[in-house]
Amino acid sequence: MAIQNDTPSELVTIDQDYLTRVQLRRAILEEKGSGVHGFTPDGVGAVGELYTYLFEDYLPVRFPTVFRLSKDRATLTNLVTKKSFAVSPPKDSAEALKVIGETIEEDVFLLQETPDGHVCVAFVCCFPSGFDPSDKLGKNLNDIHKPVPSYGIIQNSMQRYLSRLVPGKSVKRVNWTVQTHKELCNISGNHINSEEEAASMPKDVNIEETFMRSELQRLTRLPKSKAVLFSFKTYLYPVQEIKDEGLGPKFAEAIEGMGKGNCPGMWTYKGAVRWSESVCRYLRS
């Protein structure tokens, strides 16, 4: 999984695209509603804990030029969007998730450990890559990952790994694929589940609409609710820019490597059977 140690202070990142991204996230939350955020009764405590931590403790300290607490510490103002929110979480956990979702770019899933493994008890996910985030709610981690090739091999070790996570410890990993469109919110389309499905799809791609899609994923545990916090920030890098920077051949080699190694099923799952030939040919041209 190429997991690396991380620091809790890096939980949220803000860069030059912040305003554009959070405006898009707000629009997606309004349009798709419960399709991109939700909770179960077991997730109420974790949602409130995360909200309080972000709005009272983390954001105004980590990004003082972006977020400002009122003198009575009751309200947090976003100096970029000009929106203000109470530091205390809304009574409605769905509203709390919505506020989180339009304030940070990271998508968030909260998991609680049960005798049957870790279960998704809350989420806000505006930028899914080829999956329906609402379908994950209430499901065990193993069931969530059933479509992922070879996940069954590591599912028990993953459950044990999450069980060992302690508050204050944070880890990260990077995941990537290629997509042939500009959409950040893509509930279906980036993944292919069979060779037959792949064979029915066009294999020529528009390079101007082709991107490396990368997720910076993080895991940590909340101290009070003991919920596992899984978050990820999505980046899109135009394939044209990768080639212009002289990294075309190296990226083509990485793409072709998806069909090898200990998980060759990723070649089909990530759609490489459809776009790899055109993209690799371009990268090496």
* pTM for the predicted model, two decimal places: 0.92
- Per-residue DSSP letter, 66: T
Smallest CA-to-CA distance from 159 within 124, 111, 125 is with 111
Return the bridge partners of 140, or none: 119
Q: Estimate the share of the chain in helix, then strand, then coil, as percent rounded to the nearest 5.
A: 40, 25, 35
Q: Describe the strand order of the beta sheet including 75-78 as a list of residue ranges.
A: 67-69, 75-78, 84-86
Residues 276 and 268: their CA atoms lie apart, in Å, by: 10
What φ, ψ does residue 71 adopt, rounded to 5°? Answer: -60, -35
Predicted local distance difference test score (pLDDT) of residue 199? 52
pLDDT tens for each residue of the chain, 285 residues long:
579 999 989 999 999 999 999 999 999 999 999 999 999 999 999 999 999 999 999 999 999 999 999 999 999 999 999 999 999 999 999 999 999 999 999 999 999 999 989 999 999 999 999 999 999 999 999 989 888 877 777 888 889 999 999 999 999 999 999 999 999 999 975 555 555 555 545 567 999 999 999 999 999 999 999 999 999 999 999 999 999 999 999 999 999 998 886 777 888 888 888 899 999 999 999
Range of the domain at 152: 4-283
Token readout for 207 is 């390079």
Predicted local distance difference test score (pLDDT) of residue 155? 84
Predicted local distance difference test score (pLDDT) of residue 149? 78
Token readout for 70 is 């009122």
Number of folded domains that form the chain: 1
Predicted local distance difference test score (pLDDT) of residue 234? 98
Predicted local distance difference test score (pLDDT) of residue 131? 93
